[in-house]
C-alpha cells in the first residue's frame, strides 16, 4: 500500500506545479522575492515605502457554485479570473492597490492539465489586477470531493495610504452615483441560477444558443467577473476623489449599496438609467422571480458603484471609459435613513 493507492498522486502534483509555473511567471512584480515552490511567498515592503501611513487591506472569497458550470462545460480557464476578481475588487473598492494573491484548489483527483488551466485563469486575473501570484495550494482529497470536481478560493492583500482610504465619511446629499457595467452574473446567485435553469444544466443544454443572449447559455453564464482595479486606479489618477464605493456581489443592490453609506445618507438609484442585460431578463422571466428579489440577489448589470462630487462626475466617467469599462450615472445621494431606494 502507498499514497497513490490511497488516491493521492504525488507525481501528478509535481507535474501540475511544473505546468503552472509559466502562468505564475507572468504575474511577477519587482517586490516579489524568491520563486514558486518555497514554504511561503515573500513580498518586499518597499512597495509602500513612500506612503505616510500605509494600511494593509485583505480579501478572501471563492467562486461558489458557478464551478458546477465549469464541470459541466469542461471549461476551467476562466473561473480563476472569477476567484481573483471577487477578492481584488473588494480590496480596490476600499481604496487599495492589490499587491499579491494566493489561491487554494481542493480536488478529488489531481489532473495536472486541469489544475494548470485553473491556475492559468488565476494568473490572468492577477495580470488584470496588477497583483503577483506568489503562492497557493493544491490539495488532492479523494473521497472528499468527487473525482471530476474541485473547489477554488483565493486570498488577496493590498495596500493604501490611510489618507486615501475610501470610507464614505465625506459623503453628502447631492453626490453622484456612477455604476460600472458588469459582464453578466459574475460569481453570485448561482444556486438560484442553477435552479432556474435546472433542466438546462447539462452539456447539451448549456451549449444551446439563445437569440436574446446572442450566444449560448453556457457562454453567457460562465463569462468571468469583471476586475475593476484598473478603472478605480484611473479615476484616482484623474484627480477625482471617490467618496464611497461598493462592489455589487451577493445580496445585490439592497445589501451592498448601504455598505458604502454613512448614517444620514441614502442612495437613490434609477433603474432606467442603464439597460439591464438580457441574461437577467431571461432569469426573471423563466424563474418567475420578482423584481425586488432580482435586485436583492444579482448585480443586474452593475458590478461596481462609486460616489463622487457632481463637479467631478464627467472626469470620473471619462477615466472609467479610458480604462475600458462602461460607466453610467445611475443615481445620487440624498439625506435620509441609511439605505437604498430603487425607483
Element of type H or E holding 153 = strand 150-161
Domains of the chain with bracketed CATH: 10-164 (3.30.1330.10), 176-342 (3.90.650.10)
Q: In whole angstroms, what is the distance from residue 95 CA to residue 160 CA?
A: 6
Q: What is the pLDDT of residue 41?
A: 83
* Tens digits of pLDDT across the chain (343 residues): 655 666 666 677 667 777 778 888 888 898 888 777 778 888 888 888 889 999 999 999 999 999 999 999 999 999 999 999 999 999 999 999 999 999 999 999 999 999 999 999 999 999 999 999 999 999 999 999 999 999 999 999 999 999 999 999 999 999 999 999 999 999 999 999 999 999 999 999 999 999 999 999 999 999 999 999 999 999 999 999 999 999 999 999 999 999 999 999 999 999 999 999 999 999 999 999 999 999 999 999 999 999 999 999 999 999 999 999 999 999 999 999 999 999 9
Asked if 342 and 271 count as a contact pair (C-beta separation under 8 A), the reply is yes
Asked if 193 and 205 count as a contact pair (C-beta separation under 8 A), the reply is no
Asked if 222 and 73 count as a contact pair (C-beta separation under 8 A), the reply is yes
Asked if 151 and 48 count as a contact pair (C-beta separation under 8 A), the reply is no
The C-alpha cell of 32 is what? 516579489
| Among 291, 278, 155, residue whose Cα is nearest residue 211 | 278
Instruction: Give the 3-state DSSP-derived string for 89-145, with helices as H, strands as E and coil as C.
Output: HHHHCCCCEEEEEEEEEEECCCCHHHHHHHHHHHHHHHHHHCCEEEEEEEEECECCE
| Among 96, 77, 99, residue whose Cα is nearest residue 28 | 99
Q: In whole angstroms, what is the distance from residue 279 CA to residue 276 CA?
A: 8
CA distances to 16, 52, 57, 131, 237 from 88, in Å: 25, 23, 10, 9, 18
Amino acid at each position: 500500500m502507498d499514497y497513490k493507492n490511497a488516491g493521492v498522486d504525488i507525481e501528478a502534483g509535481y507535474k501540475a506545479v511544473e505546468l503552472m509555473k509559466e502562468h505564475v511567471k507572468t504575474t511577477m512584480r519587482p517586490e516579489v522575492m524568491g520563486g514558486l515552490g518555497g514554504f511561503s511567498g515573500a513580498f518586499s515592503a518597499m512597495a509602500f515605502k513612500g506612503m505616510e501611513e500605509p494600511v494593509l487591506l485583505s480579501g478572501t472569497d471563492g467562486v461558489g457554485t458557478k464551478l458546477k458550470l465549469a464541470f459541466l462545460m469542461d471549461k476551467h480557464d476562466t473561473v480563476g479570473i472569477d476567484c481573483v476578481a471577487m477578492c481584488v475588487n473588494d480590496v480596490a473598492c476600499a481604496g487599495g492597490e492589490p499587491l499579491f494573491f494566493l489561491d487554494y484548489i481542493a480536488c478529488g483527483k489531481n489532473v495536472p492539465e486541469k489544475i494548470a488551466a485553473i491556475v492559468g485563469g488565476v494568473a490572468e486575473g492577477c495580470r488584470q489586477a496588477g497583483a503577483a501570484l506568489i503562492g497557493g495550494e493544491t490539495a488532492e482529497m479523494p473521497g472528499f470531493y468527487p473525482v471530476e470536481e474541485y473547489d477554488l478560493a483565493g486570498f488577496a492583500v493590498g495596500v493604501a495610504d490611510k489618507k486615501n482610504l475610501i470610507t464614505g465619511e465625506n459623503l453628502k446629499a447631492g453626490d453622484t452615483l456612477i455604476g460600472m457595467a458588469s459582464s453578466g452574473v459574475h460569481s453570485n446567485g448561482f444556486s438560484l441560477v442553477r435552479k432556474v435553469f435546472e433542466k438546462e444544466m447539462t452539456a447539451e443544454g448549456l451549449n444551446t444558443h439563445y437569440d436574446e443572449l446572442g450566444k449560448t447559455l453556457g457562454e453567457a453564464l460562465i463569462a468571468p467577473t469583471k476586475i475593476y482595479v484598473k478603472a478605480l486606479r484611473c479615476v484616482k489618477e484623474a484627480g477625482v476623489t471617490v467618496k464611497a464605493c461598493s462592489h455589487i456581489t451577493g445580496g445585490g443592490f439592497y445589501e451592498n449599496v448601504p455598505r458604502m453609506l454613512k448614517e444620514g445618507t441614502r442612495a437613490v438609484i434609477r433603474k432606467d438609467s442603464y439597460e439591464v442585460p438580457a441574461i437577467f431578463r431571461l432569469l426573471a422571466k423563466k424563474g418567475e422571480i420578482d423584481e425586488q428579489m432580482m435586485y436583492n440577489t444579482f448585480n443586474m448589470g452593475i458590478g461596481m458603484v462609486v460616489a463622487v462630487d457632481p463637479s467631478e462626475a464627467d472626469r470620473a466617467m471619462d477615466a472609467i471609459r479610458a480604462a475600458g469599462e462602461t460607466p453610467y450615472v445611475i443615481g445620487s445621494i440624498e439625506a435620509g435613513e441609511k439605505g437604498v431606494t430603487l425607483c
